Amino acid sequence: MLSIRNLEAAIGEKKILNGINLEVKAGEVHAIMGPNGSGKSTLASVLAGREDYEILGGEVEFFGKDLLELAPEERAGEGLFLAFQYPVEIPGVSNTNFLKAAVNAIRKYRGQNPLDAVTFLKQMKEKMKLVSIDQSLLSRSLNEGFSGGEKKRNEIFQMAMLEPKLAILDETDSGLDIDALRIVSNGVNTLKSKDNAVILVTHYQRLLDYIVPDYVHVLYKGRIVKSGTKELALELEEKGYDWIKEENEVLV
Amino acid sequence: MDFKENILTHFEALKTKIKSPEIIDEIRASALYKFTKLDVPTPKHEEWKYTNLKNLVNKTYELGSRTRLETDRYATFINQYDEETANILVFVNGEYIEALSHLISPASELVITNLATAYQQHSSTIEQHFSKYALYEQEAFVALNTAFANEGVFIHVPANTEVKTPIILHFIADASATDVICHPRNLIIVGKNSSVMVCEHFNSTDTPFSTLTNTVTEVYVAENAYCEHYKIQTEENNASHLGTTQAVVQRDGRFNNTTVSLSGKLIRNNLNIKINGENCDIYMNGLCATTGNTHVDNHTAVDHAMPNSQSNELYKSLLSEKATGVFNGKIYVRQDAQKTNAYQSNKNILLSPAAHIDTKPQLEIWADDVKCSHGCTVGALDEEPLFYLRSRGIPQEQARAMLVFAFADDILERIKYQPVREYAEKIIAQRFGMEE
């Protein structure tokens, strides 16, 4: 589904990604971990198409298409979804109207007719249960005045509505209490299928107790320096990141 | 002809044409005298630094009058939004057109009439309030308006009356054969414990001639009364507007103004509010969403003369193409006005490199126990929300339109009279490419 080869990216003068290689297949859950500043969020942003970054080299293929050539909205149309680390508050745009615009824009991209109001509302009601999101949040402005937990649940709710093939969750767990974490994880687990894939970008192992990854990758200084299974995450939890740093300083 | 000479000839002509009570004639003569003594403002005047009137005062105008009475000509302006449930008054070139107006509210509920009629029929109220709030001693254009004050609306809501039917005033500038100047003058008196909603809508016909509307509205909000006041500006590129709204609010009174400027050539709005009692609540909302070469200058001033009141001000502008804007917001908190809360915010989005805004908050505070804040932003549309919407599949242009509309609607949704709000929303949606 997703194939990243030697991806290098910079923001301004600062090079952040130094040659990322990653293969993600349908049905898989990948966790990307690493210390602060290792490039985790940059990788998520570059994949979603944030324009602040300059791609210096490498390629990204998504279902055979050159992902880096696509505009952010086209990437969404192709089935990519980024759950933001800091979801933006947009006063004046109601959550419901926004979702309708998004759902129908993606349908249009795929050559499908827009959803009629009844079907859309029915779908929305169904998906709301998944993340226990309250109706009143949906009539409000997008994320405006939402608590941290509400914002993150709203991200997963959007994911449920847009049914992406690849969801990238950028530190969705940070700042969540245990109950919210459970709700968010349940949502993601329910949406998981053999046809889609998830990339979890996280700093903490805690999330992986709820969403069990098939692969764990450690990102350090813009490179994946170690890959393994979920046991690697436990090891990181126990020993911290210092041993990773030491190993790699030696190599440098 | 020099602008002042031009005005003097109008004044001489008017004197022979209209008959007013002596007291009004005296005020008019005194105002004219002041006008001749005051300088016509130039950018050298601090208050006119960013608004140059030279292309307005170099014309020779005819004083507006009922030159045409083809009602069809104005029907589109009057019927632009559903007003079946409103009192409608139509003024063309500053003169009241009874044939196009219709009043629903019974005369037993309140007085709504042409100012010239009120001079005759409500002389004691006129004497008490007329030209008592919008002072002309220092203001050339208020003096000019006062010198010609004859037609416009006179609204008097007696005490303990909640007027449920809104009052819509259509001011249409129609320069069909020459350049035209007119001076509509309004007086709104809201009695004790009463409330009323008044909307002033300014339009012009699209002709090769220029119009200059120089208007003054005085609003008196008595104790515990409430006035909801709108000013909507959708004139053509031939039309300029100089306007002063002067409100005086008594104890426990509320005055909400929302000013929406959508088109025109040169617009200067002065909104002055004097808080003359305790526990008053004031809202000043403004939206300027313009394109082309439109210039809009909003000067607001709220004067907290008494304690325990609050004022909230939010002015936004959305400027595209070569549109220019000015915001000057003054807040005075007098020494006696302890426990005042005064908030001011001015947010501006420039949608093109040629668009320009000059903004200046001005707080003068003499009391020591007050809460005042002001903030101002100028910039392009934020990238972060745009990326967020696009990352959800919404194409760039649509995402931009959604954000622009949301920015503007923040002001429009404060308009409580739905037909007016929807009318303005429709213009914004069309102008900035929002899909229905």
Averaged pLDDT for residues A56-74:
95
In this prediction, residue A4 carries a pLDDT of: 96
Residues of chain B with pLDDT under 50: 436
Q: Among partner residues A71, A88, A102, which is closest to B385 by beta-carbon distance? A: A88
Please determine, for residue A152, whether its predicted confidence score (pLDDT) is greater than 50: yes
In this prediction, residue B69 carries a pLDDT of: 63
Residues of A whose CB is below 8 A from B395: 73, 105
Whether B394 and A105 lie within 8 Å, measured CB to CB: yes
Nearest to residue B138, comparing CAs of B244, B3, B247? B244
Reported ipTM: the value is 0.95
Please determine, for residue A238, whether its predicted confidence score (pLDDT) is greater than 90: no
Q: How far apart are the first and last CA of chain A?
A: 32
Tell me the domain boundaries of chain B.
3-276, 382-436
How far, in Å, CA of B311 to CA of B281, rounded? 6
Q: Chain A residue closest to B387 (CA)?
A: A50
**Structure confidence by residue, pLDDT tens digits, A81-125:** 999 999 999 998 999 999 999 999 999 999 999 999 999 999 999
Q: How far is B168 from chain A (nearest CA, A)?
A: 27
Query: Any idea what the Cα angle at residue A38 is, between residues A33 and A41, rounded to 5°?
Result: 70
The torsion defined by the Cα of A184, A185, A188 and A189, in degrees rounded to 10, comes to: -150
How far, in Å, CA of A74 to CA of B391, rounded? 8
In this prediction, residue B65 carries a pLDDT of: 77
Alpha-carbon distances, residue A36 vs A4, A77, A152, B171 (angstroms): 22, 31, 20, 63
**Structure confidence by residue, pLDDT tens digits, B271-323:** 999 999 999 999 999 999 999 999 999 999 999 999 999 999 999 999 999 99
Please determine, for residue A236, whether its predicted confidence score (pLDDT) is greater than 60: yes
In this prediction, residue B436 carries a pLDDT of: 46
In this prediction, residue A136 carries a pLDDT of: 87
Contact by Cβ (8 Å): A173, A148: no
Q: Chain B residue closest to A98 (CA)?
A: B389
**Test mutation, A90, A144, A163, chain B, max B CBs within 10 A:** A90
Q: Among partner residues B383, B391, B409, which is closest to A92 by beta-carbon distance? A: B409
How far, in Å, CA of B291 to CA of B310, rounded? 34
The model's pTM: 0.89
In this prediction, residue A234 carries a pLDDT of: 86
* Sign of the dihedral through C-alpha B120, B162, B223, B278: negative
- Cα B191 to its chain centre, rounded Å, is 22
Residues of A whose CB is below 8 A from B399: 73
Averaged pLDDT for residues A235-248:
83
Q: Among partner residues B387, B399, B407, which is closest to A92 by beta-carbon distance? A: B407
In this prediction, residue A10 carries a pLDDT of: 94
How far, in Å, CA of B308 to CA of A156, rounded? 46
Contact by Cβ (8 Å): A154, A141: no
Whether A73 and B394 lie within 8 Å, measured CB to CB: yes
Q: How many beta-carbon pairs under 8 angstroms link A with B?
A: 75
In this prediction, residue A237 carries a pLDDT of: 83
